Amino acid sequence: KSRVLSGIMPTGDLHIGNYIGAIKNWVAMQYEHDSFFCIVNMHAITTPQDPKELYEKTREVAALYIACGVDPKVSTIFVQSHVPAHTELCWILNCIAPMGWLERMTQFKEKSKGDRERSSVGLFDYPVLQAADILLYGNVPPVPLYVPVGEDQKQHLELARDLAERFNRLFGDTLAIPEPYIPKYGARVMGLDDPTKKMSKSEKSRYHAIRLLDSPDDIRKKIARAVTDPGRDIKFDPERPGLYNLLTIYQAVTGQSEEEIEAHFEGKGYADLKRELAERLVEYLAPLQERYRDIRQDPSYLENVLAQGAERARETSAVVLNAVKKAVGLE
Ligand code: TYM
C-alpha cells in the first residue's frame, strides 16, 4: 500500500495556514494511504526552546492533529523523538550529503540571519533530518510515498529526493523517491497584516495569523484589520495580494469554487467579504476547538495515542533502516 508522511514543528501556535496548506490534506489522504503524522520535536530544538514549553506544545500539536480530523484509528500519530530511527538514518544520510547542497537551502539562510558563527550545526543539518523522517516510511521494496506540505517545503522535498537518489546510486536501490503533494489552493497562506509575507507561527505581531485556537472575538478583530488593496470588486486577482489571500481562506473554509465565490460577492464590497469570512471562520473552527478541549480533558487518552503511534512508527521505520544499514555495510 502507498504511504503518506508529514510533520509539523511544535513551536509557536498552529494557524490556518498550517491547516489549509497541510493538515486538511492529511485528513483527506489518510483513508487512501497508510499514513504517518509526526510531531517533529527534534527539528524544534534546532533553535533554542524552553523545555517545559516544548513538552507542552508537543502535546498541544498532537491534540490539534486529532481535533482537525486526523483519525488515530486510521493514521499513525507519533512524536519524532520517540523513534530513534529518525536520528540514526539522519546520521547515515549526513555522511553522503554534500555540504554544498545544504549551503543552498534558503531556510538556513533565513533562520541563521547570516550569522553562521552562532547558528547551530543542527539548524544547518535540519533538511537532512527531514529527509530521514520521510525516507524511513518508503518501505522495502519501495512503495509510492507522498508528502503533503505547503509550498514553503518544496526545497526540502527536493533535497529529500536528491538524497534518496544519491543513496540508491551509491548503495543500490533501497529508498523510495518521495513525491511532494502541494495543494493547488492555499499552499501559501499569507500574513493578514502583510500579504507579501507567508503566514508564520513564529511571527509575533497580533494581527498576523488566525490561530486554530483563537477565540471568535480575536478572529473577528483580526479579519477586520486585515490589510486589503485598492480596488472595489471582489475578484480572485493575484495583483491584489491582500484580497486574494482573504478569498483563498474563504475558499478553503467554504469549499466553493472561484466562480461561485465571485458570483456570491458580486456588487458587494470588502466590508461584506470580511464580515462573512470572519463568521465562516468562527463556525469552521468552533467544532475543532470543542474537540480539542475534549481531547485535552483526558491526558491518558493522548498519551495512549502517542505510545501506540510510536510503537507502530518504530516497527514500520525499522524495515527501511535495516535495509539501509545492510546496504552501507553497517550490518
Ligand atoms: P512547519 O512546522 O513550519 O509547518 C507545518 C506545515 O504547514 C505548512 N505551512 C503553510 N502552508 C500554507 N501557508 C502557510 N502560510 C504555511 N505555513 C506553514 C508547511 O508547509 C508544513 O507543511 N520542515 C517542516 C516540518 C517537517 C516535515 C518533515 C514536513 C519536518 N520533517 C517531514 C514534512 C515531512 C516545517 O518546518 O513545517
Domains and CATH numbers, the chain: 3-187+298-328 (3.40.50.620), 216-293 (1.10.240.10)
Best probe residue, ligand 1, of 6, 81, 153 (max atoms within 8 Å of C-beta): 153
Does the interface predicted TM-score (ipTM) exceed 0.95? yes
Does pLDDT of 49 surpass 90?
Answer: yes
Q: What is the pLDDT of residues 153-168, one digit of tens each?
A: 999 999 999 999 999 9
Ligand 1 contact via 188 beta carbon (within 6 Å): yes
Average pLDDT over residues 133-138: 98
**Which ranges of 69-120 would DSSP assign to H, the alpha helix?**
85-94, 99-103, 106-112
Binding site, annotated residues: 17-18, 133, 150-152, 189, 198-202
Is 111 catalytic? The answer is yes
Within 10 Å of residue 290's Cβ, how many Cβ atoms? 11
273 band by pLDDT with thresholds 50, 70 and 90: very high
Binding site, annotated residues for ATP: 17-18, 150-152, 189, 198-202
Q: What is the pLDDT of residues 212-252, one digit of tens each?
A: 999 999 999 999 999 999 888 999 999 999 999 999 999 99
Average pLDDT over residues 119-144: 97
Give the orientation angle of helix 299-328 with respect to helix 154-171, to 10 degrees.
Answer: 40
The residue annotated as part of the active site, out of 154, 198, 221, 326, is 198
| Percentage of residues of the chain with pLDDT beyond 70 | 100
Q: What is the pLDDT of residues 167-210, one digit of tens each?
A: 999 999 999 999 999 998 899 999 999 999 999 998 889 999 99
Ligand 1 contact via 133 beta carbon (within 6 Å): yes
Tell me how far apart the alpha carbons of residues 325 and 320 are, in angstroms, rounded to a whole number.
9
Of 3, 38, 227, nearest to 137 (Cα)? 3
Mean pLDDT, the chain, integer: 96
Residue of minimum CA distance from atom 4 in ligand 1: 8
Ligand 1 contact via 203 beta carbon (within 6 Å): no
Give me the pLDDT at residue 284, please. Answer: 96
Give me the pLDDT at residue 204, please. Answer: 87
**107 neighbors 127 (Cβ within 8 angstroms):** yes
Give me the pLDDT at residue 64, please. Answer: 98
Ligand 1 contact via 134 beta carbon (within 6 Å): yes
Average pLDDT over residues 50-56: 98
| Percentage of residues of the chain with pLDDT beyond 90 | 94
Distance 136 CA to ligand 1 centre (A): 18
Q: Write out the DSSP string of 115-181.
A: -TTTS-HHHHHHHHHHHHHHHTTSTTTT--EEEE--GGGHHHHHHHHHHHHHHHHHH-S-S---EEE
SS3 73: coil
Does pLDDT of 76 surpass 90?
Answer: yes
Q: What is the pLDDT of residues 111-123, one digit of tens each?
A: 888 888 889 999 9
Average pLDDT over residues 130-152: 98
Give me the pLDDT at residue 328, please. Answer: 98
How far, rounded to the nearest angstrom, does the alpha carbon of residue 138 sit from its chain's CA centroid? 19
Ligand 1 contact via 7 beta carbon (within 6 Å): yes
Distance 274 CA to ligand 1 centre (A): 27
Distance 27 CA to ligand 1 centre (A): 15
Give me the pLDDT at residue 121, please. Answer: 96
Does pLDDT of 95 surpass 90?
Answer: yes
307 band by pLDDT with thresholds 50, 70 and 90: very high
Which residues make Cβ contacts (< 8 Å) with residue 53, sequence separation at least 6?
none
Residue of minimum CA distance from atom 7 in ligand 1: 18
Tell me how far apart the alpha carbons of residues 71 and 73 are, in angstroms, rounded to a whole number.
5
Give me the pLDDT at residue 198, please. Answer: 96
Q: What are 291's three cell numbers?
A: 474537540
Distance 29 CA to ligand 1 centre (A): 16
Average pLDDT over residues 54-61: 98
Is 201 catalytic? The answer is yes
